[in-house]
Amino acid sequence: MYFGTATNQEQWSNKEYTELMLEQFGSMTPANVQKWMYTEPEQGVFNYTAGDEFANYALKNKKVLLCDTLVWHQQYPSWLDEKTWTKKDLLNVIYQHVYNEVKHFKGRCFSWNVVNEALNEDGTWRQSLFYNVTGTDYIETAFLAASAADPRAQLYYNDYNIEYPGPKSAAVENMVKWLRSKHVKIDAVGLESHFIVGQAATEAQQQQQMQSYIDLGVQVVVSELDVRFETLPPTEAGLAQQTVDYQASINACIKVGKQCMGISVWDFDDEYSWIPSSFAGQGDADLWYANFTTTPAYTGVVSALEAGIEKGYKSKEKLRL
């Protein structure tokens, strides 16, 4: 089991940030540079310079490399929207993109987020370019291409608001059943776990939903954990609740055992959080404040992880913060 963080290269020029990242986390996820708009900016023209820099840096520093993301309705290149596609041609483009990228990084990526956020809140399919042209075939195509390119990498579907029972999580379960019935390799479900303080799924709900996925024959991963405040600055009571909310995800993962492969936060320092630019007036979601001091949630997470180590996880280096 790993405990890691997403990050961007431009942040590594901050020495204090980089020292904390390398000291505290056992895995690294590239927040942007492996996404389609960067790796294939022109059709058939691949650019892995930034992705290679990230991958080589992570592996040089003996971190587990979690690769992200292959097919998503955001951050794909503009040339995809500039053409009128037949189903056959778009599926071929998706296959070639996924196969080429995964093949390039073969042997370096422990896992791949293959398809990201393909569902609406009510469990229906998101009306993306990929779905509108190919139906659900693009999902199968992406997983087939990834598994052909690197059979050893762990492949997962990733989404938000699927951490507790409901129509969206039920749709993910049906997706897993469908892919497995066709003998398509899917190894795990990624739970983004972007929560709001006081509104997060409970530990019991998360454990129940994780187990529901596991019972289908796949593993789970907490892939993008953070817990944001809707109103700033946070109160003392709010900070205490944030700690509880973080611990709920950690404990649920630990309780389902090794079928929860690991946990990643979506960056760890509020200075570099994605939230203020996406949710105006919200934030303070991470384990470190912008001045690199730890939050109460940090202490709570460490306590939960230490309890997990005592319960039998062998690799303290990768489990600890």
Active-site amino acid positions: 224
What does the DSSP assignment read for 120-144? Answer: -TTSPBP--HHHHHHTTHHHHHHHH
CA within 13 Å, CB half, 271 = 17
Per-residue b or e along 94-113, where b marks 16 or more CB atoms closer than 10 Å to that residue's CB? bbebbbbbbebbeebbbbbb
Q: How far apart are CA 74 and CA 119, in angstroms?
A: 13
Q: What is the C-alpha separation between 314 and 310, in angstroms, rounded?
A: 9
The residue type of 186 is I
* Residues with Cβ within 8 Å of residue 169, at least 6 apart in sequence: 161, 162, 163, 209, 212
Instruction: Give me the amino acid identity at 35.
Output: K
Specify burial of residue 53 (Cβ count, 10 A radius: 0-12, 13-18, 19+): middle
Q: How many residues does the chain have?
A: 321
CB burial of residue 79 (10 Å; 0-12, 13-18, 19+): middle
Contacts 24+ apart (CB under 8 A), 87-91: 87/133, 87/134, 87/135, 87/137, 90/129, 90/130, 90/133, 90/134, 90/138, 91/134, 91/137, 91/138, 91/141
